Amino acid sequence: MHHSDFIAILANIYKPQTYIELGLYEGETISKVLPYIGTGYGVDMISKPALENLKSSPKLKIIYTTTNKFFESFNDGIDMAFIDADHCYESVLVDFENVYNRLNPGGIIILHDTDPESNHLINPGYCGDSYKMVNYLESRQDLNCTTFPLTEAGLTIVTKKNDTRTSRRGFISQ
């Protein structure tokens, strides 16, 4: 299964009101989640014809800038985010923290390129060293994270620990 199909399934389950995608490439993932979101923000540094075609959707805003610049002015809550921009560990970490600090209760963060299947994928033009995020995420006591070996690069899903439907409704004491 391609990661974009898996993320679309998650979007169908979560029905996020605010969806953020950092790193759009050709727009495949954001176009697949579009039917399930309220408002979407796609952030990429490079304009491509496929992305321009997506701009016609009234519920999607494509912004051409760095992820850091985007978060300088974006302060809304986030229900679901897909991080797939710069594949350098340090950049992925900054993107993760920017999203995490704005994550709404019950929100979900998905990171791409966290489980490359072979050494050649660790090159900067592919997954880079973003796979190092898994160790960082697993070391945090406030997070739930699961890594899936989807396609050649892998996906990691992150939620806040004890942030379940039952805990938000008061069924589970914290």
Residues 6 or more apart whose CB falls under 8 angstroms from that of 6 comprise 148, 150, 155
Residue 70: count of CB within 10 angstroms of its CB: 20
Higher pLDDT, 24 or 163: 24
In the chain, the percentage of residues whose pLDDT exceeds 90 is 76
Residue 52 binned pLDDT confidence (cut-offs 50, 70, 90): confident
pTM, to two decimals? 0.92
Residue 172 has pLDDT above 60, yes or no: no
Higher pLDDT, 108 or 171: 108
Q: Which CATH architecture has domain 3-168?
A: 3-Layer(aba) Sandwich (3.40)
Which pLDDT belongs to residue 173?
54
Q: Of 76-85, 120-129, 153-162, which range is least confident?
A: 120-129
